[in-house]
Structure 1
Amino acid sequence: MKTEIVDGLLTLFYDGSELYNSELAEHEERSIALHQYLNVTGEPYHPYCWDEDERPLVKKLEKYLDKRQSWEQVIVLDGVEKIPSDTFTGCFNIQRVIFPDSLVCIESHAFSGCNSLTHVKFPMNLEYIEEHAFDACDLASVFIPESCRWIGSNAFQRNDNLSIFHVPQTIRLHAEVIKGSKLMKYAPYFRQTEQTNNWIKNINNDDKHSLHRLCSSFQPTKEEIFAIIQEQGIGAFKAKNNVGVTPSEYLKENPYAELTEIEISRHYFLNKLSF
């Protein structure tokens, strides 16, 4: 797999290979515990200290970690159908991930602990997101395609800033998918139950939120948005839904929207002037 600088970020072009080393990962936890102990106490010895015969393992671990922490962006190559479990777990410098339309499944813990991850572009044909896949990332908005069948438990939990979570009506959401997110502060139930999951799927489903629905849909069309704006006026972009998000915010965060608010405003005022 090659890496190169793309948009100022060190980018891994991922080909579907197994990247996670479970054996080294166990030693990684031990290494973190040791460093935390030394930093707090300043003492040179701790039961977790490496023995002399473990020096080769230490070098191997350092090389493994340095490589994983160097990646800042992941572009998954076309043809890859799944991201295996734990593939990028703990890669805390990854900021963006772009998937090809060939991808069908993101397995458990695939990106968990990627706490710099702020942007994910999901594929058109995605069907499954397994449990804890994006646990403890930093996503503020998520747009799931209509093809997705289910999302596993805790898949997006501990994304503290997550306030836009658009999912298709037909999807099955498992337990506490977005636990600990900003959006859950507005939920009518304390825990993410089936009722809460239905609330998440229906936030913008009544008639007064027709513009919200369009701007948050997976691929909003210009023609439909233009039609609603001409009817409701350009001020409709400022109307908040019951979690305090405007259609304008949906549109800005939606990576599948092919138009900007400026284009829509220009179209609206030009039409007004033509009458």
Structure 2
Amino acid sequence: MRISAEELRKFTPGVRIYKGKNTLFYNGEKLWEGVVFGGPLVYDWKERQSWEVIIVLPGVKIISERTFHTCKNVKLVIMADTVKRIGEGAFYWCRKLSFIQLSRGLESIGESAFYECVSLTSIYIPLSCRTICNEAFGGCRKLIILRVPQDTQLGEQVIVRTALIQASPLDYEHSNNEEINEWIKRIDNNDEYALHRACSSFNPSTDLIYEIVKRQEIVSFQKKDERGATPLQHLNENPFVDIDQRILMKRYILEMMGESI
């Protein structure tokens, strides 16, 4: 599910069924008291466990500490582009969370913000993000794709106990934090993985992707990089993408046949 900025502006706060899912339309109110030994406000534990989707409405700038802590049945999070900061442990232990559309204006992700989100396989960080704090994605065991801009500052153990660190060529126990963070940013940086970069970018270009496919042939969509991800996987999971692979393939086949679409 991807939701445009225009559609987000039509929603009102509250909890209701949206597209068959029990959905919280969040307007920035404080939902959690305290940090480690705190507890829920506004909505009780039972209500928090009923949410399957969280949609952060326009106007919200900060998702504060522990806001959605242990909302273990939430599978999808969509953020309006007004969100600037995600606080410490904001989505801690959201164990079914598998898809996140981050704010295009996001500037920082707090410590352990997505800790133990064990169903999360990918996350694409917008260019605006300056800081990702310690263990932000720690314990996200299935996380294999973390697309990070070169200028984003990474804290310590950002990907500790994830599939991504296991797939790295580094000896985790004997590598320092700087080496690991440098590796995260240089994944897919050589020409061999140009299609991976194009499909995982913050603002993908259909024409650029098509030109790369023409050079590398259509099978390049299935080529795995060093962590095992394919360009097709990026197209399917990148929340900033709205490109239909079927249309690209049709265009490619028609051009190979001397026709045009």
CA deviation after TM superposition for structure 1 residue 258, in Å: 1.3
187, 196, 205: which one aligns with 1:203: 187
1:9 matched to 2:10? The reply is: no
Per the alignment, residue 93 of structure 1 pairs with: 73
1:119 matched to 2:99? The reply is: yes
Within 5 Å, give how 1:17-96 maps onto structure 2: 17-22=29-34, 26=37, 64-96=44-76
Per the alignment, residue 233 of structure 2 pairs with: 249
Unaligned runs of 5+ in 1: 29-59
CA deviation after TM superposition for structure 1 residue 22, in Å: 3.2
Please give the per-residue CA displacement for 1:179-200, whole angstroms capped at 9, x wherever unaligned.
1111111221315611111111
177, 180, 203: which one aligns with 1:219: 203
Q: Distance in 2 between matches of 1:117 and 1:238?
A: 26
Say which SS state the counterpart of residue 248 (structure 2) adopts.
helix
Question: Between the two proteins, what is the percent identity of the paired residues?
Answer: 37
1:190 matched to 2:172? The reply is: yes
Q: Distance in 2 between matches of 1:27 and 1:80?
A: 22
Per the alignment, residue 269 of structure 1 pairs with: 253
Structure with more helix by fraction: 1
Is the Cα contact below 8 Å between 1:189 and 1:196 reproduced in 2?
no
Amino acid at match of 1:189: D
CA deviation after TM superposition for structure 1 residue 71, in Å: 1.5
After superposition, the Cα gap between the structure-2 partners of 1:189 and 1:150, relative to the gap in structure 1 and judged at 3 Å, is: farther
Q: Distance in 1 between matches of 2:45 and 2:222?
A: 46
Please give the per-residue CA displacement for 1:82-140, whole angstroms capped at 9, x wherever unaligned.
10001110111111110001111001000101111111100111010010000011210
125, 132, 137: which one aligns with 1:151: 132
Per the alignment, residue 141 of structure 1 pairs with: 122
Aligned-pair Cα RMSD in Å: 1.9
Q: Distance in 2 between matches of 1:22 and 1:14?
A: 19
Q: Distance in 1 between matches of 2:37 and 2:44?
A: 12
216, 220, 225: which one aligns with 1:232: 216
CA deviation after TM superposition for structure 1 residue 27, in Å: 7.8
Per the alignment, residue 147 of structure 2 pairs with: 166
Q: Distance in 2 between matches of 1:194 and 1:19?
A: 36
Please give the per-residue CA displacement for 1:242-273, whole angstroms capped at 9, x wherever unaligned.
11211111111112111122121111111111
Say which SS state the counterpart of residue 120 (structure 1) adopts.
strand
Per the alignment, residue 3 of structure 2 pairs with: none
Q: Distance in 1 between matches of 2:200 and 2:160?
A: 21
After TM superposition, which residue ranges in structure 1, 4 or more long, deviate above 4 angstroms? none
Unaligned runs of 5+ in 2: 1-12
Say which SS state the counterpart of residue 113 (structure 1) adopts.
coil
Per the alignment, residue 47 of structure 1 pairs with: none
Q: Tell me the matched-pair count.
A: 242
Amino acid at match of 1:107: G
Q: Distance in 1 between matches of 2:132 and 2:214?
A: 37
Per the alignment, residue 55 of structure 1 pairs with: none
Higher radius of gyration, 1 or 2 = 1
Say which SS state the counterpart of residue 274 (structure 1) adopts.
coil
Q: Distance in 1 between matches of 2:145 and 2:191?
A: 19
TM-score (norm 1): 0.84
239-248 vs 204-213, which moves further:
239-248
